[in-house]
């Protein structure tokens, strides 16, 4: 088993599911490499924990990633190197190595105006600020209303 899958399975409650209201506003993607059985993300391909979404080739036009927060670094490396459009739902933590790695892709960083109530094993409001980090993708006008964006043309 890969270290990424091991991390996903070794941490109780590491599955913070993207809430349905947010999934609806994100739109459609070609791939969600960190999906689970409860995922609301509209994606042509959803890879669950039994498929190592990190080790596979992401030859897709667009990727949505809500990685396991216990081990974000390998996902940040993969996202930063991805050539196509991508969007990641993450906790806002610029003090980490994974954050610095992700910033090498010069993505857009858009924090949420309010804390997100996640679904899944531990349906609860996050005790941390959440952020969308994305490249070659952009949020809908409706989604932008939930984000701190300086301007939205």
Tens of each residue's pLDDT in the chain, 153 residues = 444 443 333 334 566 789 999 999 999 999 999 998 888 999 999 998 888 888 899 987 899 999 998 899 999 999 999 999 999 999 999 999 999 999 999 999 999 999 998 886 556 677 789 999 999 999 999 999 999 987 655
**Distance between CA atoms of residues 103 and 100, nearest Å:** 5
Q: What is the CATH number of domain 3-144?
A: 3.40.50
Give the predicted TM-score (pTM) of the model.
0.87
**Distance between CA atoms of residues 22 and 16, nearest Å:** 13
């Amino acid at each position: 088993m890969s270290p990424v899958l091991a991390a996903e399975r070794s941490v109780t409650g590491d599955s913070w599911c993207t809430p349905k209201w947010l999934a609806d506003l994100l739109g459609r993607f070609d791939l969600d490499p960190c999906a689970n059985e409860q995922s609301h993300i509209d994606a042509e391909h959803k890879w669950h924990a039994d498929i190592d979404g990190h080790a596979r080739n992401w030859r897709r036009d667009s990727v949505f990633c809500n990685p396991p927060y216990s081990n974000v670094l390998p996902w940040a490396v993969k996202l930063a190197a991805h050539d196509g459009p991508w969007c990641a739902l993450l906790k806002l933590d610029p003090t980490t190595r994974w954050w610095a790695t992700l910033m090498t892709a010069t993505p857009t960083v858009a924090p949420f105006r309010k804390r997100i109530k996640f679904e899944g094993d531990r349906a609860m409001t996050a005790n941390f600020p959440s952020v969308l980090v994305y490249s070659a993708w952009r949020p809908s006008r409706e989604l932008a209303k939930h984000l701190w964006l300086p301007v939205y043309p």
